[in-house]
Amino acid sequence: MSEIAFPNADDFTHNAVISRMSQLGHEQILFCQDSDCGLKAIIAIHDTTLGPALGGTRMWMYSNEREALNDVLRLSRGMTYKNSISGLDLGGGKAVIIGDSKSMKSEALFRRFGRFVNSLSGKYITAEDVGISPEDMVHVSKETDHVVGLPGKSGDPSPVTAYGVYVGMKACAKIHFGNDSLFGKRVMVQGVGHVGEYLVKYLREEGAIVSISDIQEDTLKRVSSAYNAKIVNLEDVYDLEMDVYAPCALGATLNDDTLSRLKCPIIAGAANNQLKDEGKHGDLIMKKGIIYAPDYAINAGGVINCFSEVKGLSSEWARDKAEKIYDTILNIIKKSKSENIPSYKIAGQLAEERIATMKKKNV
């Protein structure tokens, strides 16, 4: 997925917004506000060639509306690529609600937001994202059917996400070691939250030697003793002798500093936006001879889980589909090696090709 810089990112005129939409290929933006309940939101629909645009709603205290707009444009475009590379019949979209998720939530706000989602008649399907809980989505669902991730439905996506990361990591191992066994391989899992803990479980079940780090001491100790994983200090992660670095906490951990230190042959983890500067650091990883599983391809288990809810499919279907992440990653890395093109670029090309093929069929 190529990065597009906005020369006039501060320009917020009507013309500038439309021109940014056309640069990035967005179909539609819905600006939503209701001063009675304090709602200020933006819904961005990037591309619906493959199906309705699915992507979560983020609630965040953006410092201004431009920042919110830039974020929703970037995130919705990312969803198009993620849904496409995962072989899902879904387009890409995203919503942001501008506000403090600790103090500004109310039933009225989420129901009002739900009515805006409903006004799009299913062109956009929403779900939880940063700052939003399943309970908030229950309020949204009182006003629209176009919402997934509700309590009692497809449930927590983290186990499926972790499973996809696990099989994607095995595909990387197959390329590097000649077989996909992770038995005895040294894996560093950075962040043992929802996804990271399940990943540790799958890895330990296969006999990998797992090290972990986290900023939360209690989580760290609990996961360490439950799965016999070695605790590593936060600052020592990037200097560790390891076979696989699995970032499962924050984004942008692949940057100038960390790439000058990492010695592992494989990077495969769940975190979103791992490359601080996609072009620069994606290229650098290849130059260093490291195999990199593009984040939005390897962490697609969550959106696969959402899709199963949209279509009324079983949890077994979601797991089987997540298992195919193995083939997706294998294909990306093989192509990357044979064509000598960084894996993030190959993933972008494959996602774009699927959409272009479908566009031709639609004509």
Q: Which CB sits closer to ligand NAD, 9 or 234?
A: 234
* Per-residue x/- track, 155-174, ligand NAD (CB under 6 A): --xx--x-------------
Question: Considering only residues 208, 268, 271, 286, which one is a binding residue for ligand NAD as defined by CB under 6 A?
Answer: 271
Question: Residues 229-268: x/- map of binding to ligand NAD (CB under 6 A)?
Answer: -----x-------------xxx------------------
Minimum separation from the CB atom of position 142 to ligand NAD (A):
25
Q: Which residue has the tokens 């195999």?
A: 291
Contact characters 119-158, ligand NAD, x per CB under 6 A: --------------------------------------xx
**Residue (299 or 308) nearer to ligand NAD, CB:** 299
Q: Which is nearer to ligand NAD, 215 or 356 (CB)?
A: 215
Establish if 336 lies at the interface with ligand NAD (CB under 6 A). no
Would you give the DSSP letter of residue 116? Answer: H
Q: Strand 291-292 relative to strand 266-267: parallel, antiparallel, unpaired?
A: parallel
Question: How far apart, in whole angstroms, are the C-alpha atoms of residue 303 and residue 337?
Answer: 28
**Does the CA dihedral 171-164-331-26 come out positive or negative?**
negative
Query: With binding defined as CB under 6 A, does residue 190 bind ligand NAD?
Result: yes
What is the closest distance, in whole angstroms, from the C-beta atom of residue 201 to ligand NAD in the complex? 13
49 binds ligand NAD (CB under 6 A): no
Q: Which residues contact 63 (CB under 8 A, 6 or more apart)?
A: none
What's the closest the beta carbon of residue 358 comes to ligand NAD, in angstroms? 24
Between 203 and 270, CB nearer to ligand NAD: 270
Tokens representing residue 299 in the block: 């962490």
- 195-224 binders of ligand NAD (CB under 6 A): 195-196, 213-216, 219
191 binds ligand NAD (CB under 6 A): yes
CA gap 249, 194 in Å, rounded: 10
Candidate segments 24-32, 50-58, 107-115, 186-194, binder of ligand NAD by CB under 6 A: 186-194
User: Which one, of 101, 120, 112, lies nearest residue 43 by Cα?
Assistant: 120
Residue, CB closest to ligand NAD: 193
Which is nearer to ligand NAD, 65 or 156 (by Cβ)?
156
If one asks whether residue 83 binds ligand NAD (CB under 6 A), the answer comes out as no
Specify the stretch interacting with ligand NAD by CB under 6 A; choose among 3-11, 42-50, 190-198, 343-351.
190-198
**Binding flag, residue 9, ligand NAD (CB under 6 A):** no
**Distance between CA atoms of 28 and 248, rounded to whole angstroms?**
32
* CB nearer ligand NAD, residue 32 or residue 61: 61
Going by the DSSP 8-state scheme, the letter that residue 232 receives in this structure is: -
Residue 302 binds ligand NAD (CB under 6 A) = yes
CB of 328 to ligand NAD, least distance (A): 15
Kindly give the pairing relationship between strand 57-60 and strand 53-54.
unpaired
Interstrand relation of 209-213 and 186-190 (parallel, antiparallel or unpaired): parallel
User: 344 near 1, Cβ under 8 Å?
Assistant: yes
Nearest to 77 by CA among 138, 158, 4, 143: 4
Catalytic residue numbers, as ranges: 94
Q: Which one, 17 or 231, has the nearer CB to ligand NAD?
A: 231
Counting DSSP H helices and E strands in the chain, the numbers are 14, 12
The Cα 135–Cα 238 span in angstroms is 38
What's the 3-state SS for 144-205?
CCCECCCCCCCCCCHHHHHHHHHHHHHHHHHHHHCCCCCCCCEEEEECCCHHHHHHHHHHHH
Provide the binding-site residues for ligand NAD, judged by CB under 6 A.
157-158, 161, 190-196, 213-216, 219, 234, 248-250, 270-272, 299, 302
